[in-house]
Amino acid sequence: MKWNVKITSITVLFTLFLNLSISLLDYTRIFAAGEVTEEILFSFNASADEYDFKGYLFSSKSSLETNPIIVPSKPGKVLKKLEWIDKETKLVLRTVNGFTPGKSKYESTDGLKDTLQGTRLKVTSERNTNFGGVYYWDRWSINDPGNWDGKHWRAGAGRVSVADSRGCDANVPKENINGHLLPRYPGCTDPYLEADIPRNQPFKINESNDPMLGDWIKTSAISKELKDVTASNVNIDRTTNIYDVHGSTGKTDPSTVGGKVARLLDLDQITIFFEQTFNNDTYNKYWANPGAKQVWYFSKFFVDFNSVTFRYKDKLLIATYADGTSGLEITGNKCVDPGGTTQLVAKLTKVDGTTWELKNHAKLTWTSSNASVMTINNSGLVTAVASTGTSTMTAHFADSTQALDEKADFSMTVGTGNSCTDDNSGGNPGGGTGQCKYTIAAPSSGSTVTGNKMNPAVTGMIKADNRGSEKFDVLRGIPTSENLYANVFANPYLFQHTFAKMSGKVNYQCQVEVTYALEWKQKQPDVCTTNNRGQRVCTPQPDLTMRDTESKTYSFSFQRDYSYWKINNIEVYGIQRANMNNYALPNGTVTLQTSGYSAPSLSTNHNTDVSAHVKPKDSGTISFTPATVPGMYTRPSVPNDESQLKSRAESQTGEPEVRNDLVTFNGTTIMSNSWTTKHGTTPVSIPSPTIIGQNVLYRSGMLISSKLVNAANTPSSGMIYYNLVPGNINGGSDKHFSINGINTVTVHTPVVNYSSITDDREHNQKTTPNYNRAALILERPFTVRMPTNGQHVNYPGYGDRDYAKYFRIKQVWFPFDVYTADRSKFIPKRTWTDIPVNQLDTTFFLPVWVDEGDYSVLYRTIAENTPDSFTHQPTANTNWENHVATHEIAVEVIGRVYDFHVTDIMDFNWETVFRKQKGSSEPTGNSYWVGSKGIDGEARGNAFPYELPVRKGSHPDSSFKNVAVKTGYAFKFDLKTKGNMFGSGDGIHLKPTFYFTDSKGQKRQEVDVYYHTDERKFIRIGSAEDKVRRSMELNARLRNVPEQRILDAAGAFYELFASSMSTSRQAYIEEWARAAKKPTTIGSYSDLFLPYHVRTFMGPTNVPTGVSEARAFSSIQQWYGEYNLPAKLYIVPKGFDLSKQFSFNDKAPFFLRDGFLIVNFDIETVRDGQKDKPHLQYIKAPLTNQWKREGSHPQFTDPYGVTFQLKDGDVMFYRADQSSVDDFGITGTH
């Protein structure tokens, strides 16, 4: 029989790559040895902000790193697992990152750390409230075109998104202001008003199913990220009264609606948005300017604030220990056909009890003891190179890092049939091999992971330096020459992406040819023989075993699923810069470059080719040795082993390796491109950004130009620019966004004007002073004070302080001529005079020719930013539209009366005092003055005895020390005035009063004086019977008035009143000169009035251009007079009634004789003939006494040591007991 046997080399190749340093999921775990578990203590690297509470650790951070983990060793054991376990559910969460099985322990120096995610818990702070806020709207005057003449409203102080009412006040009810229909209120709705809510309630855990519900959590352990902080239960407080700036109160506007969190600096104060509709004028104030009005709206809230805290120490760290034994054994066919191959497997048992089947591994080597018989490659595939023989195969696994060094031997034989018997029924001629080919089917797109944060959440502000301690509220006002800062807050980056999950299949097409060994029986005929008995004996023969082979080819297919993630689109943008615009900024704009800012980094690897993402596993050789197919007495048919072959092919075909596109963002992997099995790791979204720090887009020290005029509520705008970061896939282009809601800025440069002027009261000789006006005295200095400090508006940075910094100049305006203090510069009237800003006081000199009377002195302080055309207001420019502060002071210009002195006495004993020799008219120049001082108290230069009163001892000749003037002798005097005493109705009124004092200086008393006339005896001076009138000649021989002075006075008088003159100037002067030589009535014994006929002028003659010479010359007047009493006098105490005395004569004892009769003058000036309304007082002015200023004395002591008391106005001490009659008559040549 022919054996039709086909020998087929069956090679089983099963390659499994093992990398023990990678995740255990890469391998097939066979079994686990006996295990022991133990909880391991650990701690966190926590900061002072974290804290322990009820056995947990609470933090504001979403993840915390542990300190180095210490795991102790156990005898005979090694670490198999180190895992995080949920404390409550006991479920395994994950293996500790960085843990390597097989070690006996971990010490601190090993540096094993892990980062844990905290359990996120909601916390809530309930019923927080603020003190209440007010938003103001202003409507301006109907005369203000810069503010629409009041036709629209402007939003005032506060953070607003609607700056004015244009577009929303069309349907608002109107009110009629001087014929102008103006909206009663703004009518706008602002959805982005802001309220700062101080958090005054604690945060408590707010998780309904958590056992710590309601527990208080410290603020330090609560997230301050804006994305975590929300507002809820925003309720309106409609009952509490809220104060406004006017001192009144009100309640929250009914339209108020609370909103979401706007921003926060920390958790102690959180800003929320809210909305109001300004549709009423419940709270209002009308200003003085027509149409100007303010309305305001209150708001107050109760708010719950929510955030999160992260709880730690709610996870256990569990270590699993395993037996510490290891080993290696080889499995496979012990017999291989000549020229055939077979696969060996090394089974490794590690010290942790796990077992691994290895073929090819970096730490595994294969060797053959007899390479001439059979060889083995590094994958454990044995090849027979001889037709027969034996060899020992050795596997050696050595890995020092795992402390493994194991060997195993395996004996093999080359042969066929009965010559090669092994454990796998070798000798079976059946068997077969085959291959599978794969193709990668195109994937389809499925689910996506998207992310989009393209809203920069940008806000901006322009405020006054320094940030955090702003001196000014720019919404209400900031001056020029002050500094601003600009600050922008926004997300540090923007992004959008779409990641698509690509799913598909790997198709395997397999073909295997199998040779089956067939075996059946064939009956054999009996063998018959004839026995010795001749019998045919048939002996049955055994069945003949028939063998054959038959081949069959199998074709089948199967699939492997795969999926990976690819980038459809990714765009990331980083901040490039920001621009902000406002009238007050330098040149109206500022560019904010980033500082301390790192642009986001993006790294991508994108491939559209599926083969770059999917790496199918090779099935290897499909080897199959079927059992012999038995038959009975017929040749058997081959079975169908397709399902077994397919199962074998599938079992030795691993899942495909896949990898995603790569995305890393800021060093963090968003989409990993590491090779994984079957399914790519699901990517995450790029983290949401948090607002940049305050210094990233910030610039300070921006000076407001002094050239900018005041402007209210100047609008602000801005733009933030983002650049597209490299690495984008199907990305866009650079972006820019408007910065909305930037606050307005009001430029308001303040000046104040609290000017004053000195009130020269001590020189004010007016009979009736006007206490409402400052007194300015002719030919005296006065001082203007223009301080730069004072009260302005009560805005931050304004108030009561010094504003010199903002002044351009100070100016004063006089309605009359003035000189500078040193008289070096003449300033004509109605001229604005500059005053240096830093000069507080400035002294001027008042020329004598200025008319007496009431005036207003004007002041103005001009802000540094004042335009050529400007408006002003008194005291301070509290209205921003005005650039100049003004002030007006009422003053009164007042003249003087002064320099009274006695110039001649008709008594012969006094002739040589006043004349150079007896009988001469030439004067000595001596005269008796009020005292030793001049008009303003300066030393005059006259020495004793030339001081009033003239008395015993006044004669300069000591031989006349006992001489006093006898009654009956006249004395001459003159005095001066300054001011408007040049008219024809002006004059000097002198009112004599008489006193008597005895020769011992005692018993001074006021007296009545009587005299006789031819017609009547005992006439009391001052009575109705006292009718004697006296007169004088101005141009008399012994008056010594220069004739030219008289002529000059006449000429000046003519010039002053030329319009009323009916004659020529020369004729008038000639007539004046003639009149000066004629007697002029000047009064009586009891009353003197010096009229203009006895007056000359002595004012300045060298005057500035534009000043009337006549007016200047006439501004100082000299008045001449004389006075005497009758020669024979009868003196009695004041009020002594002679009519009640009986039978008396000239010698009556009640007449006062032994002493002195004192003549006392009360001197007044009279304007326009109004003697009943005297103008100036020499002695009795309420505010001053010129007599005392000129050095009068309260007493004197005569040459004999007798002291006499004096009164102001005492002029002459007549001897009461001596008369001119004694000198042979009452008149003489002198």
Lowest mean pLDDT among 786-795, 833-842, 910-919, 1136-1145: 1136-1145
Asked if pLDDT for residue 263 goes beyond 60, the answer is yes
Q: Give burial (CB, 10 Å; 0-12/13-18/19+) of 954.
A: buried
Asked if pLDDT for residue 592 goes beyond 80, the answer is yes
CB 152 within 8 A of CB 713: no
Name the range with the highest mean pLDDT among 17-21, 260-264, 729-733, 739-743: 739-743
Instruction: Taking residues 478-506, report their average pLDDT.
Output: 97
The pair of structure tokens assigned to 1129 is 């006098």
Cα–Cα distance for residue pair 695/775, rounded to 1 Å: 60
Give the three-class secondary structure for 302: strand
- Confidence band (pLDDT; 50, 70, 90) for 23? very low
Query: HSE of 736 in the Cβ direction (CA atoms, 13 Å)?
Result: 10
CATH assignment of 756-894, given 2.60.40, 3.30.70, 1.10.3470, 2.20.28? Answer: 2.60.40
Nearest partner of 397 among 355, 428, 434, 429, judged by Cα: 355
- According to the model, what pLDDT value does residue 1049 have? 95
- According to the model, what pLDDT value does residue 522 have? 83
Asked if pLDDT for residue 1230 goes beyond 60, the answer is no
Which residue did the predictor score with more confidence, 1137 or 854? 854
Between the two ends of the chain, the Cα-to-Cα distance in Å is: 203
- According to the model, what pLDDT value does residue 465 have? 96
Question: For residue 1140, how many other CB atoms are within 10 A of its CB?
Answer: 6
Which residue did the predictor score with more confidence, 343 or 448? 448
Cα–Cα distance for residue pair 1124/965, rounded to 1 Å: 11
Asked if pLDDT for residue 429 goes beyond 70, the answer is no
Cα–Cα distance for residue pair 860/886, rounded to 1 Å: 4
Question: For residue 1186, how many other CB atoms are within 10 A of its CB?
Answer: 26
Cα–Cα distance for residue pair 884/749, rounded to 1 Å: 10
CB 613 within 8 A of CB 566: yes
- Confidence band (pLDDT; 50, 70, 90) for 28? very low
- According to the model, what pLDDT value does residue 1083 have? 96
Kindly give, in sequence order, each residue whose CB lies less than 8 Å from that of residue 2, ignoring residues fewer than 6 positions away: none
| Phi and psi, residue 904, nearest 5° | -165, 145
What ranges in 847-917 are assigned the alpha helix state H?
911-914
- According to the model, what pLDDT value does residue 1055 have? 93
- Confidence band (pLDDT; 50, 70, 90) for 173? very high
The pair of structure tokens assigned to 106 is 């971990």
What average pLDDT is seen over the chain?
90
- Confidence band (pLDDT; 50, 70, 90) for 523? confident
Task: Give the Å distances, CA to CA, from 338 to 341, 372, 384, 672, 815.
Answer: 8, 12, 5, 49, 138
- Name the CATH topology of 1-30+326-427: Immunoglobulin-like (2.60.40)
Asked if pLDDT for residue 9 goes beyond 60, the answer is no
Task: Give the Å distances, CA to CA, from 420 to 139, 319, 514, 702, 880.
Answer: 114, 51, 21, 100, 115
Nearest partner of 517 among 636, 421, 434, judged by Cα: 636
Asked if pLDDT for residue 269 goes beyond 70, the answer is yes
CB 61 within 8 A of CB 312: no
Residue at token pair 């030793």: 932
Cα–Cα distance for residue pair 124/309, rounded to 1 Å: 10
Cα–Cα distance for residue pair 373/417, rounded to 1 Å: 18
CB 545 within 8 A of CB 669: no
- According to the model, what pLDDT value does residue 873 have? 97
Asked if pLDDT for residue 1031 goes beyond 90, the answer is yes
CB 1219 within 8 A of CB 968: yes
Instruction: Taking residues 582-599, report their average pLDDT.
Output: 97
DSSP per-residue letters across 698-725 = EEEEEEPPTTPPPEEEE-EEEEEEEEEP
Asked if pLDDT for residue 4 goes beyond 80, the answer is no
Which residue did the predictor score with more confidence, 895 or 524? 895
Q: What is the largest CA-CA distance in the chain?
A: 243
pLDDT in tens, 111-126: 999 999 999 999 999 9
Nearest partner of 499 among 573, 565, 444, 572, judged by Cα: 565
Asked if pLDDT for residue 260 goes beyond 50, the answer is yes
DSSP annotation of 661: -
- According to the model, what pLDDT value does residue 1218 have? 92
Asked if pLDDT for residue 485 goes beyond 80, the answer is yes
- According to the model, what pLDDT value does residue 18 have? 28
β-pair partners for 153: 139
Asked if pLDDT for residue 1081 goes beyond 60, the answer is yes
CB 101 within 8 A of CB 23: no
- According to the model, what pLDDT value does residue 1224 have? 61
Lowest mean pLDDT among 656-670, 1020-1034, 1137-1151: 1137-1151
Asked if pLDDT for residue 1021 goes beyond 70, the answer is yes
DSSP per-residue letters across 1041-1076 = --HHHHHHHHHHHHHHTGGG--S-HHHHHHHHHHHT
Evaluated on CA atoms 768, 769, 772, 773, the torsion sign reads positive
Nearest partner of 193 among 148, 222, 234, 227, judged by Cα: 234
Which residue did the predictor score with more confidence, 874 or 135? 874
- According to the model, what pLDDT value does residue 632 have? 84
Instruction: Taking residues 1025-1049, report their average pLDDT.
Output: 93
Query: HSE of 492 in the Cβ direction (CA atoms, 13 Å)?
Result: 20
Asked if pLDDT for residue 3 goes beyond 60, the answer is no
Asked if pLDDT for residue 627 goes beyond 90, the answer is no
- According to the model, what pLDDT value does residue 352 have? 63
**Which run of H or of E encompasses 1110?**
helix 1109-1113
Nearest partner of 1006 among 1132, 1130, 1128, 1124, judged by Cα: 1132
Task: Give the Å distances, CA to CA, from 210 to 114, 306, 311, 329, 479.
Answer: 26, 16, 12, 54, 57
The pair of structure tokens assigned to 707 is 């050239």
Bond prior to 466 in cis (omega within 30° of 0): yes
- Confidence band (pLDDT; 50, 70, 90) for 867? very high
Residue at token pair 């027509």: 290
Lowest mean pLDDT among 314-318, 328-332, 659-663: 328-332
Residue limits of CATH 2.60.40.1080 in the chain: 1-30+326-427
Kindly give, in sequence order, each residue whose CB lies less than 8 Å from that of residue 598, ignoring residues fewer than 6 positions away: none
Name the range with the highest mean pLDDT among 54-68, 253-267, 535-549, 786-800: 786-800
Evaluated on CA atoms 210, 214, 220, 225, the torsion sign reads positive
- Confidence band (pLDDT; 50, 70, 90) for 244? confident
- According to the model, what pLDDT value does residue 427 have? 45
Phi-psi region of 517 (alpha: psi -120 to 50; beta: other; left: phi over 0): beta
pLDDT in tens, 1156-1169: 999 999 999 999 99
Query: HSE of 1095 in the Cβ direction (CA atoms, 13 Å)?
Result: 28
Cα–Cα distance for residue pair 737/457, rounded to 1 Å: 10
- Confidence band (pLDDT; 50, 70, 90) for 900? very high
- According to the model, what pLDDT value does residue 245 have? 78
The whole-angstrom distance between residue 392's C-alpha and the CA centroid of its chain comes to: 89
